Every structure is written in structure tokens, then in C-alpha cells.
A = this chain, B = another copy of it.
Amino acid sequence: MIIVMQSQASDADIEHVISRIEELGLKAHLSKGTERTVIGVIGDERLIKKDQFSLLPRVENVIPILKPYKLASRDFKAADSVVDVAGVKIGGKRIAVMAGPCSVESERQLMATAHAVKASGASLLRGGAYKPRTSPYAFQGLGEDGLKLLAKAREETGLGIVTEVMESAEVDLVAEYADLLQVGARNMQNSKLLRTLSLIRKPILLKRNFSATLNEFLMSAEYILFGGNDQVILCERGIRTFVEYTRNTLDLNVVPAVKQLSHLPIIVDPSHGTGRHDLILPMSRAAIAAGADGLIIEVHPEPAEALSDGDQSLTPKAFDRLMKEAGTIARAMGREL
């Protein structure tokens, strides 16, 4: 941590900061520049609070030097992590595609989708049983009945299932059914949920909140790793910007950025990321070309009848085309799909 003193700081002000640093059992390192005096704080930065210094007299600024996360960083683990979800390896050479409806609506809808996405080559089946909705007037999901239908679809198709868990009290129930537990974007910083998930032995799909910085995203992964669960897959699903043409702005820059900073795999959700079914195909290709380890795509047999997210769902036929085009890009990248 670096403490920058104001230009008017006196020797006494500087002494005051140094004695505070030493009081805390840390070491100070002084550097007098032409316009500012700068004091380095030597010690474990994650245990130092910025405001222990920023509020002292004549302190202009306190600048952290280290990233706030440790277990999620490449410094901690240089090799790419590969997460196994029901036999599907995520983070390796093969690009994984998770597909299925936004919400589980009925047995008929789910089975039709599951068989279709399986036939097109999807690796995992997604579907929501608990739905976080903006409006109290909207469909809120089938709950445990939805989970049972997902389990049945797994039995019929052999596809592992991905589904969202919305609060810590439901973790055990959802973990009974799911192969991969999804933390939705709105829950990315639900610390109690993250802590509970850190204690189970199932892989976690952590979606980026639509206004999370990269540091915040990786800090949420850190919560899960810190508790002892190292099976974390990250997912970019669009950020909130001033842009209005797309529902969100899919931020593909985060894919190579995560690859630099972290060993964790990252997949991309172009359905939520754009909110427009007609942008899913090109943005899926782009995600793979940017280096993503997988895709998660909303597919519905009849999007215009969907109880949620119809606008951003593909028909099975459009999904089949996506798999072919995405496969071509994957091969150009030296990967498989």
C-alpha cells in the first residue's frame, strides 16, 4: 500500500503516519519526491484497511498495490483450472455448450428442448426452477417440481444439469438435483450464499453481476475458493451501460482479461448478454474467438410462447445452426466443440 501525502504535509504529519504504520506492526518506507512525499506500507495488504491511513491529517491518497484476491489469481496457481461437471470438462480443449430454456415450464417443453439440444451436441442442459424476476406479476418458476423435471430430463438424455440457486437456505435442496449450481448475476455479491456454496462439493457457475468490475467478480469467486470449494466456473453475461439497442452490453473483453489474471475457466452467455435472439449467433462466434471456454444459450421450442426470456431464446433449429458455426470457429482456434 502506498500513502501519498499532500504537498503541504509537514514533517510532523509524516511522522504521524509512520508511527501509525508501526503501531499496526507494519513497516514504513519513506520516499521524498519533487512534489510529494510517498510512504510505502510493507506487510500483508489484504489485512490493512485503507481508511486506517486515508483519514490521517494531510494524507492525499492511499493506493493499494496488490490485487484484493489471492486464491483466484494466476500468481497463486499458474495452470488453467479444469472443472468437471458430470463428466464434462470445462476449461480444457473442448468448448462446452450449456443449453436449454430460461425457465422449466412443463415436462413437455423441457423434454422437447433437452432432446433437441442433445441432438445438436450440447454438453449440459440448463433450465431455471427458481426464477428471480423484476416483476411480482411475472412467472416465478416451478420450484422443486422444476428440479424434478430437470432430473428426469437428465435421466432421459444423459445431459448433466445446470440450474440456479437463489439463497443459502436452498443450497442443499438444489445441490441434490443439480450437477452445476448457478449463482445468478443479481446474487453475485450475496455473501451468505457464496459462503454456503464454498462448503459443498459441487461445481459452481458464478455469473458476473451486470455492474461488477473485474476485481469484484474475482472477489466473489474468492469467497467460494476461500471456503474450500475450488470448482468455480465464471460466466460473463452482459454489463449495464448507456447502450439501449441491446438489453445489456456483452463485455467480451473480460474473457482474455480473466485469462490473464486468473486460472479459472470462463464461459459466455450471449442470450442475457444481448437480450436479442438475432445477436446470439454472431456473439457466440465472437466469444469463442475471444478465448471463452464455453457458452450458455437459451433454447425454447416455441420462443413466442415462453413464460420468460422468449426474446433472447433460440429455436432448436437456430441452435443447431449455432452449434455448426461455433464449431467452425472453435476448430480455427485449435479447440473442439
Contacts and interface: CB of A to CB of B under 8 A. Distances in A.
Interface stretch (A92-100, A104-112, A253-261): A253-261
Contact of A291 (B66, B282, B328): B282
B252 A283 contact: yes
Contact of A286 (B53, B287, B307): B287
Interface string A51-88: 11111100001010110100000010000000000000
Contacts of A38: 2, 40, 65
Contacts of A167: 167-169, 190, 192-193
Contacts of A193: 167
Contacts of A256: 278-279, 282-283
B226 A136 contact: yes
Contact of A290 (B56, B244, B277, B283): B283
Nearest to A258: B245
A54 B332 CA distance: 32
A129 interface: no
A252 B286 contact: yes
Given A132-B191, A332-B329, A31 B34 contact: no
Interface stretch (A41-49, A117-125, A149-157): A41-49
Contacts of A304: 51-53, 55-56
Interface string A309-337: 11100000000000000001101110000
A102 B221 CA distance: 25
Interface of A: 2, 4, 7, 29, 31-36, 38, 40, 42-47, 49-56, 61, 63, 65-66, 68, 75, 132-137, 140, 166-169, 186-187, 189-195, 210-211, 213-216, 219, 222-223, 226-227, 239-246, 249-257, 260, 273-274, 277-279, 282-283, 285-291, 303-307, 309-311, 328-329, 331-333
20 contacts: A4-B65, A33-B65, A34-B42, A38-B40, A51-B311, A55-B310, A133-B191, A134-B219, A136-B222, A167-B168, A167-B169, A167-B190, A214-B243, A243-B251, A246-B253, A250-B253, A257-B279, A260-B278, A286-B286, A328-B332
